[in-house]
Structure 1
Amino acid sequence: MTHVEQPVEAAAGSPATAAPPATWRDVVAAYVGLTKPRVIELLLLTTVPVMFFAARGVPPLGLVVATVVGGTLSAGSASALNCVYDRDIDEQMRRTRRRALPRHIVSPLAASVFGVALGVLATVVLLVWVNLLSAVLALAAEAFYLVVYTMILKRRTTQNIVWGGLAGCFPALIGWTAVTGSLSWAPVVLFLVVFFWTPPHTWALALRYREDYAGVDVPMLPVVASAHVVGRQIVLYSVAMVLVSLLLWPVASTGWLYPLAASVLGAVFLAQAVLMWRRTEGTEELSVIRPMELFHSSNLYLSLLFVAVALDPLITR
């Protein structure tokens, strides 16, 4: 992989000076950053618990490791290639301007090769050590994220994250198929939970950075609609998310732990969504609306819900 030196701006009235070359630590950190580790953490959080649920106990350790490695490589591949495609807008947005490509630590060609290599490795790992269906689903998720979301929807429609977010729902299916080798209604329900969770999660973040998205002409809903409209949509999707989450109880015949956790977590999250919506009445001030509170709560909600998915068969079987 090649990298280029970081540019520096010349001070006013003084000649430009060359930036010192990036150290090997800078380069390693840059490549790791291309994979968006925080996104990978979230994806694995919806993969491993489903494996426990599918196994109705503890799945084979080797299978878990292979699925985690394959899933990490696949998600990292999609993220790296997304960074290549979006490098023009990433350079202009506060939230993303410190990524490797905007900082010119890694070249677009090197990042592309890196992304493709991760995708090939992911497919090999899943094919050899997991199964064909899981490998196909991982490839489908990666292609959907890159083509449908990044290239087609993101810069064209306010529904970008609604339908583009489908790519982030696939880990629930992959975790299930890794254990069972087939699909059923239980992972589909969890797929839909993540589907309805994604808009509230992302729109809360987009409210915080709506000026960034507006500056690069990405029509996220908070850019083209008032905060009050966005808040109402967040509440509606949150209601759908909670209702769908409760479907797992009858569909998969869970024990008592999961429906209890889904009910409590859902009620708390709905209360927070409604509270944020009420704070949008008559104001666009972020200091009043506090959307990042809901964003962080959404991460906690999904984390605890899927922990309950994993623990339910262990505790209540």
Structure 2
Amino acid sequence: MSTAVELPTASRARTPGDLLRAYVGLVKPRVIELLLVTTIPAMLLAQRGLPPLGTFFATLVGGIMAAGSANALNCVADADIDSVMKRTKVRPLPKHSVSTRHALVFGLVLGVASFVFLWATTNLLAGVLAVATILFYVLVYTLVLKRRTAQNVVWGGAAGCMPVVIGWSAVTGTVEWPALVMFGIVFFWTPPHTWALATKFKDDYRRAGVPMLPVVATPVQVTRQIVLYTWATVLWSLLLVPATSWLYAVSAVVAGAWFLVVAHRLHAATKRGAKTNPMKLFHLSNTYLMLVCVGMSVDSLLGWPALGWPF
């Protein structure tokens, strides 16, 4: 399969404004928003307060550049898929708003720039981790896992977990156990979040030949996996309690209980054969992650003593 076929020129952006919107579309701003939601609390927890503002904003800018690079390169590699899916056919390459060659160069330049910027403004480790994330997302997830296995978002989702590790390393110059716990929270959260969305758009994925779990498994099997990964997410989030105070503990328990209730209700309704709305779980998963991250952020900014390990 070729991913570098030049697109026709007839429909390309006609004005500077159109071109700007096309390049903004390549970086997928809504995806970047989610990455920032997890990067900020990681930096705050690493500092147990507010890091130096220069480091804080440099990490966000460098992270945006790295994520934009990965997303633009993903658009190039997935142009054939995006062109046949209703949800993605309005992206810049299927619409021929920008050429494949220009999108590829744009993604590569952004990736190199993110490495240089993070190295210059934070440290080498953060820059290396950003590049490793881009390479994993494009080469491992997009080009290999996505098209070949229903476990694509389980293992490929590791790329979406890396912003917390990059944020932590930018502040501390190291990767310590709380960063790995935060990585695990996002890792276990990604499958139920993505499978809920994929359930709604499974016909799109089937038409594109992408073996997302809802395409290759029964609805009951899908919701069972959603419940299992939701439990894993909530239980794993509690491992962060020793590095935080009671405020985070309460937010993780309350948000987790809500997440679990909705996941179990979806599974129960599916087993009964009742009409279900998986997008309710999808939207709730976003709210859950936001609540956990807000709890973590406020907890860190207040700087209350961490609970520590009970043994």
State the TM-score bracket (shorter-chain normalisation): over 0.9
Structure 2 residue ranges without an equivalent (≥5):
1-6, 305-311
Q: 1:137 aligns with which of 108, 129, 137?
A: 129
Verify the 8 A CA contact 1:235 1:274 in the aligned structure 2: yes
2:231 aligns with 239
Map 1:231-270 → 2, pairs under 5 A? 231-250=223-242, 252=243, 254-270=244-260
Deviates more, 1:271-280 or 1:206-215: 271-280
Aligned pair count?
Answer: 298
Structure 1 residue ranges without an equivalent (≥5):
8-20
Map 1:32-111 → 2, pairs under 5 A? 32-111=24-103
1:303 aligns with 290
SS at match of 2:167: helix
1:313 aligns with 300
Using the alignment, how far apart are the partners of 1:87 and 1:269 within structure 2?
34
Q: 2:21 aligns with which of 4, 20, 29?
A: 29
Verify the 8 A CA contact 2:49 2:303 in the aligned structure 1: no
Verify the 8 A CA contact 2:32 2:67 in the aligned structure 1: yes
Using the alignment, how far apart are the partners of 1:50 and 1:310 within structure 2?
8
Using the alignment, how far apart are the partners of 2:93 and 2:79 within structure 1?
6
The answer to whether structure 1 residue 293 and structure 2 residue 280 are counterparts is yes
The answer to whether structure 1 residue 5 and structure 2 residue 13 are counterparts is no
Verify the 8 A CA contact 1:89 1:216 in the aligned structure 2: yes
Q: CA deviation at 1:270?
A: 0.4
SS at match of 1:281: helix
Q: CA deviation at 1:316?
A: 5.0
Q: 2:268 aligns with which of 253, 270, 278?
A: 278
SS at match of 1:127: helix
Q: CA deviation at 1:313?
A: 2.2
Using the alignment, how far apart are the partners of 1:259 and 1:103 within structure 2?
46
Map 1:106-255 → 2, pairs under 5 A? 106-250=98-242, 252=243, 254-255=244-245
Verify the 8 A CA contact 1:48 1:175 in the aligned structure 2: yes
Q: CA deviation at 1:314?
A: 2.2
Question: Scaled by the length of structure 1, what TM-score is found?
Answer: 0.91
Q: CA deviation at 1:160?
A: 0.5
Q: CA deviation at 1:111?
A: 0.3
Using the alignment, how far apart are the partners of 1:89 and 1:316 within structure 2?
47
Verify the 8 A CA contact 1:5 1:105 in the aligned structure 2: no
Runs of 4+ with deviation above 4 angstroms: none
CA deviation string 1:121-146 (max 9, x = no partner)? 10111010010111111111111100
Using the alignment, how far apart are the partners of 1:156 and 1:257 within structure 2?
42
